[in-house]
Amino acid sequence: DGGITQSPKYLFRKEGQNVTLSCEQNLNHDAMYWYRQDPGQGLRLIYYSQIVNDFQKGDIAEGYSVSREKKESFPLTVTSAQKNPTAFYLCASSKGPGQQDYGYTFGSGTRLTVV
């Protein structure tokens, strides 16, 4: 079955460490996205990529980095520069600009906690 897989489901990070969240899709979608969700804040866009080897900053990109070396994969690194990284992170994909007839497909999320 096609879908998006995020791993791990839960992640604990010590202050000052970088961590990488994995996101893999087998839907043959061109576009992939990372969102952060905090209570009462809805979903806020961190980074997005509409094509391999290209990505753009979203609304809250500071302290994060991404890569898009393969169509299927869009890992997110939470760096030590992110001052408040504890949150729920959602990865999503869509067919691409102008083709998102049914919106996004979401992964199950990664809950990151700084300890």
Partner 1 sequence: EDKVVQSPLSLVVHEGDTVTLNCSYEVTNFRSLLWYKQEKKAPTFLFMLTSSGIEKKSGRLSSILDKKELFSILNITATQTGDSAIYLCAVTMNYGGSQGNLIFGKGTKLSVKP
Name the residues that contact partner 1, by CB under 8 A: 4, 31, 33, 35, 40-45, 48, 50, 56, 58, 90, 94, 96-104, 106-109
Extended beta strands in 1-115, E state: 4-7, 10-13, 19-25, 31-38, 42-51, 54-57, 64-66, 76-78, 87-94, 105-106, 110-114
CB of 94 to partner 1, least distance (A): 6
How far apart are CB 33 and partner 1 at their closest, in Å?
Answer: 7
Q: What are phi and psi of 64, to 5 degrees?
A: -125, 155
Among the listed residues 11, 32, 7, the one whose alpha carbon sits nearest the alpha carbon of residue 87: 11
For partner 1, the closer CB: 85 or 107: 107
Choice between 13 and 44, CB closer to partner 1:
44
Query: Of the two residues 82 and 94, which places its CB atom closer to partner 1 in the complex?
Result: 94
Least distance from C-beta 63 to partner 1, angstroms? 20
Assigned token pair, 105: 């497909």
